[in-house]
């Protein structure tokens, strides 16, 4: 063979190998667990997983094909494979199922007081501020030297802790007891700094759940006070699974696997897929089932795709699915028009040197270019906005602060952002690059009408700073994803709502704006923020009631929730009308009442198997979730409504009857009487109507029958109500959703 042919063949082979690698994908591969005899013949479980790879890729690879080997959350591994290689894997004895990896994304002070938590009394004192509980946070990492993660006054982690710190040994402490890294991006940090939070999201969520007390917290001079997580004496274990907006499924599974092995008590996941999937196809549903089997409580964000029906994610019944509400604090910036009208909005950037002089006001969409109305990048060229207040519409694929950058680029002096109709009255306080305010859709329409009514419209912005006392709080935010729970309509989701709008928490670096702030806190909004609030509440309840199961903690949170706001009226949504059950679930979390719920609806891990079989899943699909061999033909499957869940979601055609069992966790001798507010057009019958208890932990069952009656509202698609058991001391409320078919 001459030299030229050899070089040519080498090039062709090199190109072929490069193409094969570049065309490979990451797959999540489910396989049967090895028999004990086989495992004894192999070095370890990882060798068993390697045996599924074709011999041609077992050697001579620049990088290992198996990325993660899982021990607890699934029987299987994640690996880079071409389609041809995957076909070879599928032929192996013990192969179950494989699919391409999907990408998850983040769902992006004053709140302890909003939730009624006080240092000297109540749940904080009774739970010892979450002492001894370990909260695992899967997110973008952490900034370990932030004061929110100080261990002053913290005891060492409990003996059951088996995790490790992948920072330098001195970086972790008795607050931040663990930090691990599961990011495989080429441009990611390496070594001991790999877990550093370069995004901010993870630092924010971790400190919300279990940050220490930090005095004099503020953001750009606003929201001043003492910052604290919901469980300020709980320990934190951090699992970095995201780089920026990308959180690979394989990394999430690996982190869940590690968290189960490390010994955490609560897992907080402010991440989600873009849409819901059947539970056997949903990484978080599968991984968290294994966590629940080990007694670990899991809280997840419900998603930021509201207010649209069916937009909710993380809806498995063993997960607490958390929607978002506002709080009673606003960072007010008022749009004042030349005709004297004023419209309160919000902005985190409140320049002290801004003179509220009336300036020319212009609507960016008046030039007829659709993208200009949204103040999209480059859309305001060839129009004179110099020295003007510019009205921009929300949306259009351009972020709120990016709109301000475009207005500033063309010489605008200030900006007003108006909501679109779907976002209604839901507002956010942002760090803008110029004087700005974010106002409601209704206010925006009135501002446009004013602009069109005069040849010389003018406006200015009045910055009023932090204002406490929004009487309509808590209100459901427009972005909070809504039910129905598409993978399982018979399970009402979200379960709960909690603070998720304009939440102040730790931030890893100074805010990047022209004020050159040195603040180490930031204000963010999203179900990513509401989720760690509930993770913190769960940590407090776990500390106060260490013998409660994850389902019992979840039940206590749901059945004690508030359904009224500060005005003692029904909680509203972004339209300022009463929010429906698809937005609120059970209602707004009330931690103090959750600590003493009276009764709980408990569920064992095995109780979910008949439910999963009842969803119509096959043996293989249920086995993937349960992490063991399942034969649904040998199991008495149940309809969704028969799961002992703390809420009712009934798909009603013909009459249906469901059974519930409650456990007495209150006084030994107690009696409860049922009260029902029936959904319109539905007859609800409960038997028996009185439950008598003579000892703690006693269980009693009751049945609920649903049938349709004439109401004059036969065209309705759904109706809602609630059922509650009332004693001298407790009210145990379960929401009822009826979907008519």
Set 72, 201, 432, 588: catalytic member: 201
In the block, residue with structure tokens 């001459």: 2
The neighbour count for residue 590, using CB atoms within 10 Å, is 17
Indicate if the alpha-carbon torsion angle 53, 57, 60, 63 is positive or negative: negative
Q: Which of 654, 672, 658, 646 is nearest to 728 (CA)?
A: 672
- State the Cα–Cα distance between residues 307 and 394, nearest whole angstrom: 15
Q: Which helix (H) or strand (E) element contains residue 541?
A: helix 527-544
Q: Quick check: 502 and 522 in contact, CB under 8 A?
A: no
Set 528, 530, 647, 649: catalytic member: 528
Q: What is the dihedral of CA 350, 356, 360, 362, to 10 degrees?
A: 30
Kindly state the tokens that stand for 49.
Answer: 């997983």
Q: What is the DSSP letter of 612?
A: H
Alpha-carbon distance values, 54 to 26, 68, 88, 137 (Å): 16, 17, 6, 36
In the block, residue with structure tokens 């069952």: 701
Radius of gyration of the chain (CA): 27
- State the Cα–Cα distance between residues 551 and 6, nearest whole angstrom: 66
Q: Which helix (H) or strand (E) element contains residue 620?
A: helix 619-626
Is residue 139 annotated as a catalytic residue, yes or no?
Answer: yes
Is residue 528 annotated as a catalytic residue, yes or no?
Answer: yes
Buried b (16+ CB within 10 A) or exposed e, 263-300: bbbbbbbbbbbeebbebbbbbbbbbbbbbbbbebbbbb
Please give the angle made by the CA atoms of 64, 277 and 272, to the nearest 5 degrees.
Answer: 70
Is residue 201 annotated as a catalytic residue, yes or no?
Answer: yes
Set 69, 139, 251, 330: catalytic member: 139
Q: Where are the alpha helices (DSSP H) in 75-230?
A: 83-90, 111-114, 122-126, 201-210
- Convert 645-697 into a string of H (helix), E (strand) and C (coil): CCCEEEEECCCEEEEEEEEECCCCCEEEEEEEECCCCEEEEEECCEEEECCCC
Q: Quick check: 237 and 144 in contact, CB under 8 A?
A: no
Q: Which helix (H) or strand (E) element contains residue 394?
A: none
- For the chain, how are helix, strand and coil distributed in percent, rounded to 5? 25, 30, 45
Q: Quick check: 204 and 522 in contact, CB under 8 A?
A: yes
Kindly state the tokens that stand for 20.
Answer: 């094969």
Q: What is the dihedral of CA 9, 10, 14, 15, to 10 degrees?
A: -40
Q: How far apart are the first and last CA of the chain?
A: 76
Q: What is the dihedral of CA 566, 570, 575, 576, to 10 degrees?
A: -40
- State the Cα–Cα distance between residues 52 and 653, nearest whole angstrom: 48
Q: Which of 676, 268, 711, 647 is nearest to 483 (CA)?
A: 647
Which are the catalytic amino acids?
A: 139, 201, 528
């Amino acid at each position: 063979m001459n030299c030229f042919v050899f070089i040519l063949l080498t090039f062709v082979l090199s190109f072929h190998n490069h193409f094969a690698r570049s065309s490979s994908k990451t797959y999540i591969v489910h396989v049967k667990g090895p028999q004990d005899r086989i495992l004894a013949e192999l070095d370890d479980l990882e060798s068993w997983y390697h045996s599924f790879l074709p011999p041609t890729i077992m050697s001579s690879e620049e990088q290992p094909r198996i990325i993660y080997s899982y021990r607890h959350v699934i029987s299987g591994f994640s690996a880079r494979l071409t389609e041809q290689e995957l076909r070879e894997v599928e032929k192996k004895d013990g192969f179950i199922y494989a699919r391409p990896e999907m990408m998850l994304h983040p769902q992006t002070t004053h709140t302890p007081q909003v939730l009624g938590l006080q240092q000297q009394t109540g749940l904080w004192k009774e739970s010892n501020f979450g002492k001894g509980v370990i909260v695992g946070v899967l997110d973008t990492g952490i900034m370990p030297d932030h004061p929110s993660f100080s261990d002053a006054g913290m005891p060492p982690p409990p003996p059951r802790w088996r995790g490790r710190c992948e920072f330098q040994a001195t970086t972790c402490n008795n607050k931040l007891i663990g930090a691990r890294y599961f990011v495989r991006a080429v441009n990611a940090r390496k070594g001991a700094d790999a877990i550093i939070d370069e995004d901010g999201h993870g630092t924010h969520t971790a400190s919300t759940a279990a940050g220490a007390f930090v005095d004099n917290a503020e953001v750009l001079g606003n929201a001043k006070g003492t910052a604290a997580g919901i469980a300020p004496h709980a320990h934190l274990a951090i699992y970095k699974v995201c780089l920026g907006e990308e959180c690979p499924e394989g990394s999430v599974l690996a982190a869940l696997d590690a968290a189960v092995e490390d010994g955490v008590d609560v897992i907080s996941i402010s991440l989600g897929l873009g849409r819901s999937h059947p539970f056997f196809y949903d990484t978080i549903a599968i991984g968290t089932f294994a966590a629940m089997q080990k007694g670990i409580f899991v809280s997840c964000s419900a998603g930021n795709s509201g207010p649209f029906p069916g937009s909710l994610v993380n809806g498995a019944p063993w997960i607490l699915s958390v929607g978002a509400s506002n709080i009673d604090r606003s960072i007010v910036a008022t749009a004042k028009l030349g005709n004297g009208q004023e419209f309160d909005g919000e902005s985190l950037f409140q320049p002290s040197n801004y003179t509220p002089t009336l300036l020319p006001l212009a609507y960016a969409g008046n030039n007829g270019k659709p993208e200009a109305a949204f103040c999209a990048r480059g859309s305001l060229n060839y129009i004179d906005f110099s020295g003007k207040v510019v009205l921009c519409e929300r949306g259009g694929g351009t972020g709120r602060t990016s709109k301000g950058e475009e207005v500033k680029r063309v010489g605008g002096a200030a900006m007003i952002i108006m909501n679109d109709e779907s976002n209604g009255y839901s507002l956010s306080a942002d760090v803008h690059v110029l004087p700005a305010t974010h106002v409601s859709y209704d206010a925006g329409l009135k501002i446009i009408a004013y602009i069109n009514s005069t040849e010389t419209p003018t406006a200015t912005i009045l910055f009023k700073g932090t204002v406490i006392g929004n009487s309509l709080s808590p209100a459901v935010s427009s972005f909070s994803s809504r039910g129905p729970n598409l993978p399982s309509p018979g399970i009402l989701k979200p379960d709960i709502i909690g603070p998720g709008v304009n939440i102040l928490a730790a931030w890893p670096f100074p805010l990047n704006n022209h004020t050159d702030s040195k603040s180490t806190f930031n204000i963010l909004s999203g179900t990513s923020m509401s989720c760690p609030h509930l993770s913190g509440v769960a940590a407090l309840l776990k500390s106060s009631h260490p013998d409660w199961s994850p389902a019992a903690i979840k039940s206590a949170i749901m059945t004690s929730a508030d359904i009224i706001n500060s005005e003692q009226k029904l909680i509203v949504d972004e339209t300022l009308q009463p929010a429906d059950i698809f937005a609120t679930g059970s209602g707004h979390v009330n931690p103090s009442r959750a600590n003493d719920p009276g009764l709980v609806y408990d569920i064992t891990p095995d109780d979910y198997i008949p439910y999963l079989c009842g969803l119509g899943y096959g043996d293989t699909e249920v086995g993937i979730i349960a992490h063991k061999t399942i034969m649904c033909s040998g199991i008495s499957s149940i309809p969704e409504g028969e799961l002992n869940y703390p809420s009712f979601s009934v798909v009603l055609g013909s009459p249906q009857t469901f059974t519930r069992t409650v456990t007495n966790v209150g006084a030994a001798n107690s009696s409860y009487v049922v009260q029902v507010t029936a959904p319109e057009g539905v007859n609800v019958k409960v038997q028996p109507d009185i439950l008598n208890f003579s000892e703690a932990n006693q269980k009693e069952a009751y049945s609920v029958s649903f049938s349709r009656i004439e109401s004059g509202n036969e065209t309705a698609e759904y109706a809602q109500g609630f059922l509650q058991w009332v004693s001298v001391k407790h009210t145990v409320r379960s929401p009822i959703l009826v979907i008519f078919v």
